[in-house]
Structure 1
């Protein structure tokens, strides 16, 4: 009996230890918190109200959360909860039988067996603190069930290394194409129109858009937990601060700045929907205006390793127009790159060389040092393979760094602030915007790391981009096509005819190997040799 008693104590101790360690090791996330609440009369009311003891606990936890904002890794979640709560309070049509209380950060969701269940977003340290409250009975971390999908959530995370995953369905080609590798119906039966991107989505990254005519009132910029506004107006090299949703020529029908911004970080049409976007409105696109704006931002707004500058404009210049090696634009760009800024520029739509050495003509600002030059591509499907080729109007040649889609479908608001429009613009202006958005994704996933143009190009855009993907290029033009880090190609209907990342990471059946080209071959053939590129992860290979 004594031994049984000791054994029981030991089992209880081990159970408590496991439970304790589980709580202490809990990561930041959403939790259900069980609160003692024996008030049956409260549970039986038609409108479920919060009892006094539960309300006291809610207030205590709310104050604890507010006082520890700076300890959260992803404070954006709390900001979104507050925003949604404010919207709900302003909605007079809302009708609910549950009293959710005043706190946007913690609220009741159910009453079961003399317990009230609260819902909140907590850090592991806050869980440890709250579990000591007298009426707190326990915790349960919220579990996210995965809907049946044509892709593997866990495989995408393992493949990309992202902190978490978001998927936008039925997107245009300019989004779907940059989050998957080369599509071929030989391997994948139905093209995947989804856009895959990290949950950070450019959070805490500043994109300065040097352009004209911005209107940030469109729903593409409706998420208010980031900045999306005009910042500066520049005319004759004089910089004026502005804090408005609209800036530029209100009679303009072009809305170039609005469209570029929508591609970079629009909520529905953009690459990095959580990035901060600042419109720098130019009266004219001049070198002096550019220098003045860069100097002003460097002095007042630049945050090192969190800044991207997008230049969706350009023109040709003779090198003889610059005295010696001096260039005011190049110097200020270099100085900003040295303190953690990334520059991206459109390569131009003249269908000619960006560096015409024979005629001493150079496309600027795309050909400055420390600027990523972006060309444009179109696509077509022939013989069951999707080909990406240089757009006829896109500039080309040595000096292009990377290519991105040339044709787009974008929603924006006209400058009269009354009409919502959908447009199908084209040009390297928007190709540049795509690359700026992808750069923001990489920055947002790697906050705390050092960034500049060279690091972004070498360690991210070139590392994750698709080499030799672009067809119809000449004059030593690199064929690099932009990618945000996800190269797995999925089929919308889940049907595959190959193996490897170009076929949804499908594996070959027994006694077959996955060749370097992604075909399942009979075991024993030369394609099954590791030295010939046999893919060991997706089949059986030999030495």
Structure 2
């Protein structure tokens, strides 16, 4: 009897099998409807054979085969082929147009199908030939030097000391579906298991460096995929400890956008000095501080109400009295760490955002997202997970649409070398609706070389002094959006429920902006209406634009002439915020009012410069005034 070929990519239509039909189906017995481990390789549902077996009803047999095949989605079939190839360790592959391929899997003589054991043997013995057949059908090209550009790039920190050995962050392409991601991650687990399984023997009495490194990092087991992240409709990926050969296979997978070597990140603080509560006062005055204004903060007492601010940091001393019960614990990302701020950095930032005495937005709700350990350092991958937590918590709050919820902000007063994965995560979180403030960094260098300072959708904040200078440590450059007080800032701390500390750094500047974002979000037009929905409120992009446009211009000294903005944040001094919101969604009347105001300003300027000019010029100006007002 001639053999038949089963094409997994073009299965015939079928109906569900009855229990009786399943009993008589040999492939069903072999595969169990979910897969089988044969020769160490995972064979997913659908790798079955068409044919006849003596004693088994031919029609039922074929029906069973077709039913199993129909369980497969197109992307699942692609993943199966990838798995087969990976298991063969053809690790220098490019898989072009997998989705369009019509791979033929195995050719089996039906006469040989006399027992399950015989079928298993056939599968095992046919494996190499099957992989070669698939490779041939898919036009697989073997690795060549000039194909390197086709593979997913690998990014890493410029500072080699920051890199965490053997640990990686893998980010998927934006158009990859959930089913492909699931199969890819299963495939990675199998590939890693295969590679690391060969290391479990000592070389000259010594353990393999990869396994030894896992032990030094207190990583249980054999490494591999440790965690995943996903921000809805934006970015997905995973992280883990992998061998170089595994990473090379991951790079060649068509679903992968890029790979990043994980690196250390640290809290950005600079110094501790005596008390000086000047920061809040400065952001509520246009003019420089004086003896009469240096300790006066002018604000709306409802600022921050209905807004949730996520502090992605070392945690928060949630029981501190100055938080008035508005602070809570959200998540602890570093494995094995307790739900407590053992450093103080996060508690200080939270206090500047929303504490009773030291906060910009004194009614905001504060959520601790711990990504840094008690020593103030952590990994980029943990920070990415923290951003994911904040973004998904915000999306959940938006969907729940509880009365009074007005939106979410986030603060990240931390940084490290350039991390595309972290920048992408922050940008995705902003796209999800969170208003993000990040610290520019304390190296007196270009902020564009640091993450998350380089994340374009966030507001990147430099530090200023009480004398209106750029703080000598503050980063600068075109990636900086605005400045805020960052030298000698008094706020809440750890050690007791009344503790305070005075710290300096762009870490202290960024929460001023996060607090200001929370402040303005709570006061946005229509926010007090019972029909208000956060999803229809001001967008992060628009609020960022307004905050920058509303800031005090050209009031700082020592600003480099390299595109660094000379803008200091301003809260409006509890005055009418029509000017602030006027750039958001102006009505026709608002447009006319703004136009008239601009025109009046121009005319006043002309009049001032024309005092020594002729009466003829003054007459022309008066005519211009009359004409302008007649127009409206």
Q: Greater CA radius of gyration, 1 or 2?
A: 2
| Higher RCO structure (Cα 8 Å, ≥6 apart) | 1
Greater helix percent: which structure? 2
Q: TM-score, normalised by structure 1?
A: 0.49
| TM-score (structure 2 length as normaliser) | 0.43
